[in-house]
Structure 1
Amino acid sequence: MKKLLILLASLISILIAGNIYNRIKIQNIFDEIYYTGAGATNEPFEKPRSVIENIPNIESQVYYLSSISENGEKITEERYQEDKLPNNMIGLSTTFYSKKKELTINVSYSITSTVNLSMDNTYSVSKKTLSQTLSFFDTERAGEILVKDKNDVQTYSATYNISEKQLTEWNAQGVNQLFLEDWVSVYPSNYSPENLGNVKIKTQW
C-alpha cells in the first residue's frame, strides 16, 4: 500500500509539474499554434500530423532553406486554397521556422492588376511578440519588392489610397476573422481571436 501511495503521489507530482510547464511555455494563441505545428512532419505516412491540416481548404508543403551547414532548416507551410479565399485576398498561409522558433502568418491582397500587397505577422516564441510588417510587390517585375522602409509604406499606401485603418482591417480579416477562427474550431484552444493571450503586438505601418 505504501508503494502504491508513493507511486500515486509521484504521478500527481508529474502531472502538476507538466501543467505548470505548459502554462509557462504556452501563454497565448500563437504559442498553441507554434508548438502544435512546429513538431509536425506533414510528410506522407509520418506522424504527428499538424492540427492545422484539419482546417478545410488547407494544403501543406514541406521544403528546406539552403544553408552553409549540411542540414538546412526544414520549413513547414500551410496554405489556404486561393479560390476559397474572400474577394481580393490572394494568399493566406502559416509558416513554421523551428530553428528560429518563429511562426509567420501571411495575408496577401491584389491591389491592382500588377501590384500585390503582402502582410507578414511574425511571432517570436522567445519574445512573445507579434511583429506586423508589409510589402508591395510589382508582379510585372518578377515580384520586385517596392517597399524598403516605413516612408515607402506611407508613399505606396497613399498612391493606392489605402488608409492605415484599411491595412489593419485587411490584416485582421485574414489573421483573426479567418485563420484564428478556423484554428479554434479544430483545436481546444484556451484563447480566441478576440482574446489572444499574453502577446505584444508591434505594427510597422
Structure 2
Amino acid sequence: MKKPLKKLLILLTSLIGILIVGNSYNRIKIQNIFDEIYYAGAGATNEPFEKPRSVLENIPNIESQVYYLSSISENGEKITKEVYQKSTLPEDMFNLSIKFYSKKKKVNINVSYSITSTVNLSMDNTYSVSKKTLSQTLSFFDTERAGEILVKDKNDVQTYLATYNISEKQLTEWNAQGMNQLFLEDWVSVYPSNYSPENLGNVKIETAW
C-alpha cells in the first residue's frame, strides 16, 4: 500500500474513532432534557454573557440576569438567570425563571403564583446534573413583608395548602403549566432535543409536596 493512501486510511480511522468516543461520551453525559438545558445553557460555561449567550436567548420573551451569591457558604458562586417577561405569563403566574449554578452543576426552574393579594406560592424544580435527580419543593411568601418566607417546612406547607384549598393535583397542574407547557415546550422549539415535555429522559423526580 502506498504511503499517502496508508496515511489517509489511518487519519480516517482516527477520525471515526474520535466520533465514536465523542458520541458515547455525550450519551453518558446527556441522559435527559435537563442535561441538555444545563450543558447548552449559559451557566455551564461560568463565563460572562457574550453573544451568542445561550440557546435560551432564542426563546421569545425571555431576559437575562447575572448575579453572585454573597454568603460565604456559597463561596461567591455566580448565578446566571433567565427570566420570562411577566406580561407574557398566564394569569396569576408572576414568575417563570431558569437559574444555572455552574459550581454545583445544578439547574433551577421556578414557577410562582399569586394565591392572594399578599401571599405567593413558589415551586422550585432543582435538577442535579451529577445525581440525575429533579427535586420539587415549594414555599409560601408574604409580599407585604418583602417576600419573607412564611413556610417551607413540609408539615407546615400541608397546613397552608389546606388553608387555601390547594390540592396536590392543582400543584401538579400549576407546576406543569410553567415548566412543561411553557419552558420545556419553548426549549424543544429552539434546540434539537432528543426529548420532550412528555418524555424527559432518564431523570428521577423527587416531589416534596
> Which TM class, normalised by the smaller chain length?
over 0.9
Verify the 8 A CA contact 2:140 2:152 in the aligned structure 1. no
Name the counterpart of 1:10.
14
Does 2:132 correspond to 1:115? no
- Residue 184 of structure 1: aligned partner: 188
Structure 1's 2 and 67: CA in aligned 2 closer, same or farther, altered over 3 A?
A: farther
Query: Is the aligned partner of 1:144 residue 2:130?
Result: no
Q: Does 34-43 or 72-81 show the bigger shift? A: 34-43
The equivalent of 1:168 in structure 2 is: 172
RMSD after superposition: 1.4
Q: Distance in 2 between matches of 1:84 and 1:123?
A: 25
Query: Does the CA-based 8 Å contact 1:42-1:50 persist in structure 2?
Result: no
Residue matched to 1:73: 77
Q: What is the DSSP-based 3-state SS (H/G/I as helix, E as strand, rest coil) of the residue aligned with 2:151?
A: coil
- Map residues 1-205 of structure 1 onto 2, 5 A cutoff: 1-37=5-41, 38-40=43-45, 41=47, 43=49, 46-66=50-70, 68=72, 72-205=76-209
TM-score normalised by the chain length of structure 1: 0.95
In structure 1, how many angstroms separate the alpha carbons of the residues matched to 2:151 and 2:44?
Answer: 33
Shift of 1:47: 4.6
Percent identity over paired residues: 85
* Residue type at the aligned position of 1:39: A
Aligned-pair distance for 1:68? Answer: 4.0
Matched residue pairs, number? 202
Question: How far off is 1:67 after superposition?
Answer: 5.1
Matched residue SS, 1:146: strand
Question: Whose Rg is larger?
Answer: 2
After TM superposition, give the deviation of residue 48 of structure 1 in Å.
Answer: 4.5
The normalised TM-score by structure 2 is 0.93
Unaligned runs of 5+ in 1: none
Distance across 2 between alignment mates of 1:107 and 1:96: 15
After TM superposition, give the deviation of residue 8 of structure 1 in Å. 0.5
Amino acid paired to 1:105: I
